């Protein structure tokens, strides 16, 4: 059963102070909410807010860190199982706010989580940077990174703890880009997937190819040529279009995911700059999106053949080990 390969889904935990933007990130990335609508999201008081995106390659949960509650006195925080299963802990810091308290919470969280699970990757999203000038962005980023690293060094853990920083905003693609980087670290099959994409693009004269996790529209792998933002945005917009059309007109009775996305999903768009955008379903969660020159697409029998071979290879990659 193809489903089995996904059983041990890597888990991502999204944490941060209340109002730092966690629910907005979730809605925008996983539920296609438009960023402006997040202004009206209601704040909840629960600690663990939700488990989301079960139909994705990765599973996620969101955790609020209310300012007034200390970890020690909070039984929910002693949920060792949660940290033990977590591959990456994303900590969201609101860069437009006073972030001293957030940095302190981040530090306690890092120590606690590391104690339970030393393998965890810590990912700090310096968030809401859309409201800041370029200079202010740099200054805040330096300040936050310096403080966080100094705290870790004080605890003498600087050589053990894996921590990365990203500037993010829900108003542009930076949040998707950051998520992609985080997820790529958690996919042990990544080098194989990259290799398969490289083979595919060289056999088919493709300019750029991405493998997208369709639900959160995050790319989990790309070929080794450099990514330019415009190509990435184009490819990710294409997934929206295909899924929107699929949801409206294409829902067959076999659509058990309700996604409007199935084994038949495929699309080809000829752009007015002589390029072709090509999308094809690869697995239940994954889609290949490629950009190539129109004259290379003329021999598309060859491309279809190679994509089929690619699809079979990816299916093998995710097959459960015997």
Give contact residues for ligand GDP (rule: CB under 6 A): 16, 18-24, 38-39, 41, 43, 127-128, 130-131, 169-171
Asked if residue 164 lies in contact with residue 124, where contact means CB atoms within 8 angstroms, the answer is: yes
d(CA 21, CA 184): 22
Nearer to ligand GDP, 45 or 224 (CB): 45
Asked if residue 243 lies in contact with residue 212, where contact means CB atoms within 8 angstroms, the answer is: no
Strand order in the sheet with 86-94: 48-52, 59-65, 11-17, 86-94, 121-127, 162-168
Q: How far is the CB of 48 from ligand GDP (least distance, A)?
A: 12
Q: How far is the CB of 103 from ligand GDP (least distance, A)?
A: 16
Q: Which residue's entry shows tokens 């007109």?
A: 249
Closest CA to 59 of 183, 178, 181, 170: 183
Neighbours of 210 (CB within 10 A): 25
**Helices (H), ranges, 187-255:** 190-204, 229-249
Nearer to ligand GDP, 24 or 141 (CB): 24
Backbone angles phi, psi at 70, to 5 degrees: -85, 155
Q: How far is the CB of 18 from ligand GDP (least distance, A)?
A: 5
Nearer to ligand GDP, 163 or 170 (CB): 170
Q: How far is the CB of 15 from ligand GDP (least distance, A)?
A: 9
Backbone angles phi, psi at 217, to 5 degrees: 55, 45
- The strand pairing partners of 17, in sequence order, are 65
Nearer to ligand GDP, 71 or 171 (CB): 171
Let me know if 271 is exposed, middle or buried by CB neighbors in 10 A (0-12, 13-18, 19+). Answer: exposed
Q: How far is the CB of 181 from ligand GDP (least distance, A)?
A: 17
72 token code pair: 């020690």
Any idea what DSSP says for residue 39?
A: G
Q: How far is the CB of 164 from ligand GDP (least distance, A)?
A: 18
Q: How far is the CB of 171 from ligand GDP (least distance, A)?
A: 6
Nearer to ligand GDP, 23 or 283 (CB): 23
The residue count for the chain: 322
Nearer to ligand GDP, 62 or 282 (CB): 62
Q: How far is the CB of 213 from ligand GDP (least distance, A)?
A: 21
Q: How far is the CB of 39 from ligand GDP (least distance, A)?
A: 4
Nearer to ligand GDP, 5 or 216 (CB): 216
Closest CA to 254 of 276, 281, 275, 226: 281
Nearer to ligand GDP, 127 or 311 (CB): 127
Helices 134-154 and 100-116: angle between axes, nearest 10 degrees: 40
Nearer to ligand GDP, 57 or 132 (CB): 132
């Amino acid at each position: 059963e193809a489903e089995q390969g996904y059983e041990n889904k890597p888990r991502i935990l999204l944490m941060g102070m209340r109002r730092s933007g966690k629910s907005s990130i979730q809605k925008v990335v996983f539920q296609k909410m438009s960023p402006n609508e997040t202004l009206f999201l209601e704040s909840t008081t629960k600690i663990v807010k939700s488990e989301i995106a079960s139909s994705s390659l990765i599973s996620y949960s969101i955790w609020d860190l209310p300012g007034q509650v200390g970890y020690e006195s909070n039984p929910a925080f002693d949920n060792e199982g949660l940290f033990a299963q977590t591959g990456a802990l994303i900590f969201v810091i609101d860069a437009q706010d006073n972030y001293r308290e957030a940095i302190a919470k981040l530090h306690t969280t890092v120590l606690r989580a590391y104690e339970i699970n030393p393998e965890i990757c810590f990912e700090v999203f310096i968030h809401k940077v859309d409201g800041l000038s370029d200079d202010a962005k740099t200054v805040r980023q330096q300040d936050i990174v310096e403080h966080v690293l100094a705290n870790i060094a004080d605890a003498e853990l600087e050589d053990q703890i894996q921590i990365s920083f990203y500037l993010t905003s829900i108003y542009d693609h930076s949040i998707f880009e950051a998520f992609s980087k985080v997820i790529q670290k958690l996919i042990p099959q990544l080098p194989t997937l990259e290799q398969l994409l490289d083979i595919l693009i060289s056999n088919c004269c493709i300019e750029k190819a991405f493998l997208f996790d369709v639900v959160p529209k995050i790319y989990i792998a790309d070929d080794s040529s450099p990514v330019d933002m415009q190509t990435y945005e184009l490819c990710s917009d294409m997934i929206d279009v295909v899924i929107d059309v699929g949801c409206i007109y294409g829902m067959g009775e076999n659509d058990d995911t309700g996604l409007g996305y199935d084994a038949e999903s495929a699309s080809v768009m000829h752009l007015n700059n002589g390029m072709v955008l090509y999308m094809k379903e690869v697995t239940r969660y994954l889609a290949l999106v490629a950009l190539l020159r129109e004259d290379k697409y003329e021999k598309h029998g060859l491309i279809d053949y190679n994509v089929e071979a690619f699809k079979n290879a990816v299916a093998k990659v995710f097959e459960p080990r015997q």
